[in-house]
Structure 1
Amino acid sequence: MQALNFPKYSFRIKNSQNRHYIFDGIRKKFVLLQPEEWVRQHVVHFLVFTRNYPKSLINVEKQLLVNKMKKRYDVVVFNPDGSIFLLVECKAPGVTIDQSTFDQIARYNYELQSNYLMVTNGMEHYYCQMDHANEKYTFLKDIPDFSR
């Protein structure tokens, strides 16, 4: 897999039947290593090992309903009270982040009401802070460290 615009992390990777799998410490299982999963695992490591987010508050690849349609978010970080602190949308490195990507995370966040958003393809990262009361968002240079 290609190098991404994240710090270097150590991953557990195995080969089975000529397919590569990467260990997901949140789901506690090996998952098929595809380009988007490579980005997702870098995000999780970034949150845990660089930003000090507790693993216990991170959820990966869970279903949600958006306009009565089943969708899956990539990564969510919860606040200790159960509200959502951060919603992350991951794309494969070869996928250009464009308006449709921001529209997708906005639809998900309409349901989830996260305080912060992150969109990444592993090479480019975008961060936003939400102002739900005024239905606005502000782009940030980075996401905050976890400090609770």
Structure 2
Amino acid sequence: MQDLNLPKAKVRIEERDGKKYIFDPIRKKMLMLTPEEWVRQQFLQMLFSMGVSKGLVGIENGLKVNKQAKRSDLLLFDRGGSPFLLIECKAPSVKLSNTTFEQVARYNATIKAPYIGITNGMQHYFCAINFEKGDYSFLKEIPLPSYIKKTS
């Protein structure tokens, strides 16, 4: 798989019948190794290395957007169980654009996380959402819940 602009992490990859699979530690199963799944699993490993607990991460949680069933890629919860950071993952070949932001924003209209992000493994963008004003501001780094100690 392609090198990403993320810290290199060890992940379990297996080959079966000529196809590669990657282990998802949240869903506790092997999944088809696609470029998007590669990004999701590498980003997830980075979150773990930053101090995020597995118990506070949801992957492909179901939600309804305009009466259609959708799935969020990564959802980080705070210790109280409230959504904290919603992240949309794309394959490295997918250019991050306004369309990508619009997708995560539509999902977040239902989820209501105070932070959203998009990544293709090469570029990563995060925003703080101000629901009262109906706007957002870009952040210079990944937002983390206050209980996670940031190290420089």
Alignment of 1:89-100 (within 5 A): 89-100=88-99
Q: Which residue of 2 aligns with 1:118?
A: 117
Shift of residue 146, structure 1, vs aligned partner: 3.9
Residue by residue, what CA displacement relative to the aligned partner does 1:70-129 show, whole Å, maximum 9, x if unpaired? Answer: 011100011122210000000000001111111100100000000111100000100111
Q: Which residue of 2 aligns with 1:75?
A: 74
Alignment of 1:1-148 (within 5 A): 1-49=1-49, 51-148=50-147
CA contact (8 A) 1:52 1:146 kept: no
Shift of residue 3, structure 1, vs aligned partner: 0.1
Normalised TM-score (structure 2):
0.94
CA contact (8 A) 2:21 2:33 kept: yes
CA contact (8 A) 1:27 1:60 kept: yes
How many corresponding residue pairs? 147
CA contact (8 A) 1:12 1:23 kept: yes
Normalised TM-score (structure 1):
0.96
Q: What percentage of residue pairs aligned between the two structures are identical? A: 47
Structure 1 residues 117-126 or 137-146, which shifts more? 137-146
* RMSD of aligned residue pairs (Cα, Å): 0.9
Shift of residue 61, structure 1, vs aligned partner: 1.2
Shift of residue 133, structure 1, vs aligned partner: 1.2
Gaps of 5+ in 1: none
| Helix, strand or coil at the partner of 1:100 | helix
